[in-house]
Amino acid sequence: MKNGKCPKCNSSTVYKCTRGIDWGSKSQWLEVWIEETDSRTNQWAGFDSYVCSNCGYFETYITDDAAINEIKAKWEKVI
């Protein structure tokens, strides 16, 4: 999707939005949770969202390399 081509339908009608997901009218932006550090502080990672206007396929990508490194250190690796 990042290259402007949909992997599902091969269309080039791909659009991008930073933080393109919202919980709703009274909620905060959805963000990727990395780790809860204490009751007042959490670690979050921002992301970009991509959608194909032809088939509706949707992907999100974390955009912060430091956050990706934190995730690698703190999340369980899928084997």
Residue 31 lies in a domain: no
Residue 32 lies in a domain: no
DSSP 29: B
- Residue 62 is predicted with a pLDDT of 85
In 1-79, which ranges are continuous DSSP H helix?
65-74
Within its chain, how far is the Cα of 50 from the centroid?
9
Residue 27 lies in a domain: no
Tens-place pLDDT, residues 33-48: 666 555 545 566 778 8
- Residue 43 is predicted with a pLDDT of 60
Tens-place pLDDT, residues 53-68: 999 999 988 888 888 8
- Residue 74 is predicted with a pLDDT of 85
* CATH assignment at residue 17: 2.20.25
- Residue 63 is predicted with a pLDDT of 84
Average pLDDT over residues 3-12: 97
- Residue 49 is predicted with a pLDDT of 87
Residue 62 lies in a domain: yes
Within its chain, how far is the Cα of 27 from the centroid?
17
Residue 28 lies in a domain: no
Q: Into how many domains does the chain fold?
A: 1
Range of the domain at 77: 1-22+45-79
Residue 37 lies in a domain: no
Q: What is the CA radius of gyration of the chain?
A: 15
